[in-house]
């Protein structure tokens, strides 16, 4: 299993490339981010559908970016268009 973290891979573009390479080599993936705002973690949500594990935690912030990621029922929804600015 490959643990893909957006900050450590260099962002969404490199994370996508790593995810594709991992799949081509037969590895499963986990998607994670360092603690941060919804804006920082939203790109990781786009990688989540093909991962077997997802570890995101923006909903723990006391003062998050607005609009924030929807975390209804402990699930993170797709980012709203307004989140990107």
Average the pLDDT over 44-65 and give the result.
Answer: 82
Residue range 5-50, pLDDT digits in tens: 988 898 899 999 999 999 999 999 999 877 778 888 888 888 999 9
- Name every residue whose Cβ is closer than 8 Å to that of residue 29 and which is 6 or more positions away in sequence: 1, 2, 3, 4, 19, 22, 23, 47, 50, 51, 52
Q: In this model, does residue 66 exceed pLDDT 70?
A: yes
**Does position 59 have pLDDT exceeding 70, yes or no?**
no
Q: Is the pLDDT of residue 1 over 70?
A: yes
Q: Which CATH superfamily is domain 2-84 in?
A: Enolase-like C-terminal domain (3.20.20.120)
pTM comes to: 0.79
Give residue 63's pLDDT. Answer: 83
Boundaries of every domain in the chain: 2-84
């Amino acid at each position: 299993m490959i643990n893909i973290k957006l900050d450590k891979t260099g962002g969404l573009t490199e994370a996508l490339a790593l995810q594709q390479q991992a799949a081509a080599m037969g590895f499963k993936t986990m998607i994670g981010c360092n603690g941060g705002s919804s804006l920082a973690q939203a790109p990781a949500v786009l990688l989540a559908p093909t991962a077997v594990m997802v570890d995101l935690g923006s909903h723990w912030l006391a003062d998050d970016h607005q609009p924030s990621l929807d975390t209804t029922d402990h699930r993170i929804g797709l980012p709203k268009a307004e989140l990107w600015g």
